[in-house]
Structure 1
Amino acid sequence: MLRPLLIAFGLYEIAKPEPVIDACERIGLANPEDVDRRPWALWGARAEGLAFVWLLARRESGSRIVNAALALAGAVLVFVPDPVIELSQTLVYENTEDLELKPWVKPAARLLGVLYLIVVALSARSGPDEVESDETAESE
């Protein structure tokens, strides 16, 4: 159930990244109306959605590089979110000095890290169709 939901979210993020970014800005910034977003911010969101879809929609194991990168990002976000928050602000916004972070940005970043780790864990598991076909192949 979770896998199709995350795939749908990834597809939505690829197709319409702006509402996703807007929601994140409303959650994390006290002044979301004052942001000066860099042009490539939408492409970064699309890349995140693509990673989700790539890892979760494949019936075989996803790319080891994408898996490893997402797992590393997830672990860093969970345990040491500050550098990633600062880096993402620098990459996404031109006016980082004007951003007013809400107090729950760090817990929200940790939750995002957990989400990344869930995607990695789900991508490592076989889907139900693959498990059945493997059992059938072994019995023949």
Structure 2
Amino acid sequence: MLRKLLIAFGCYEIAKPQPVIDACERIGLENPDDAQLRPRALWGARLEGLLFVWVLVRGREGSTLVSTLLGAAGLALLAVPRPFIDLSQRLVYENADDLELKPWVKPAARALGALYLLVVVLSTRGDESTAASEDATATA
């Protein structure tokens, strides 16, 4: 169920990245109305959604490179979130220096790292749980 929910979120982020970015700005910025997105920011959000969907749908058959990169990003966000917060601010916003971060941005970045790791774990277990549920449905 969680896997399907994350796939749905990834599809939504691919199709409509602006509401996702707006929500993240409200969560993480003291002055979200001052944020000036770079044009490529929407494509970055779409790429994140695509990676989620790719890894979760393909499971073990998917690219180990993509899973490894997503897992490494998750571990890095958990361990040292500040450099990644600064980098993402510079990549996403024209006026990164003018934006004021809320105090819980570091814990939120760590939570995002944990989410990335959850996606990787669910993708590796997805084939087994899908096969088990199909077997249970077939015997019922």
Higher mean C-alpha deviation, range 111-120 or range 52-61 = 52-61
State whether residues 61 and 123 of structure 1, in contact with CA within 8 Å, keep that contact through their aligned partners in structure 2.
no
Tell me which amino acid in the other structure corresponds to 1:32: P
Residue equivalent to 2:90: 90
Identity %: 66
Gaps in structure 1 of 5+ consecutive residues? 135-140
TM-score of the aligned structures, taking structure 1 as reference length: 0.90
Instruction: State the distance in 1 between where 2:133 and 2:103 align.
Output: 47
Instruction: State the distance in 1 between where 2:131 and 2:32 align.
Output: 44
1:73-108 deviation line (CA, Å, top 9, x unaligned): 100100100000000001000111101000000000
For residues 115-130 of structure 1, the aligned pairs below 5 Å read 115-125=115-125, 126-130=127-131
State whether residues 59 and 124 of structure 2, in contact with CA within 8 Å, keep that contact through their aligned partners in structure 1.
no
The answer to whether residue 70 in structure 2 is matched with residue 101 in structure 1 is: no
CA RMSD after TM alignment: 1.6
More helix by share: 2
1:56-89 deviation line (CA, Å, top 9, x unaligned): 1125432111101100110010010000000000
Cα distance, 1:95–1:130 mapped onto 2, change above 3 Å = same
Residue equivalent to 1:137: none
SS of the residue 2:61 aligns to: coil
Return the offset for 1:4: 0.2
Tell me which amino acid in the other structure corresponds to 1:76: A
Residue equivalent to 2:74: 74
State whether residues 7 and 56 of structure 1, in contact with CA within 8 Å, keep that contact through their aligned partners in structure 2.
yes
Tell me which amino acid in the other structure corresponds to 1:2: L
SS of the residue 1:102 aligns to: coil
State whether residues 41 and 92 of structure 1, in contact with CA within 8 Å, keep that contact through their aligned partners in structure 2.
yes
Cα distance, 1:101–1:59 mapped onto 2, change above 3 Å = closer
Residue equivalent to 2:52: 52
Tell me which amino acid in the other structure corresponds to 1:71: G
TM-score of the aligned structures, taking structure 2 as reference length: 0.90
Between Structure 1 and Structure 2, how many residues are aligned? 134
Gaps in structure 2 of 5+ consecutive residues? 136-140
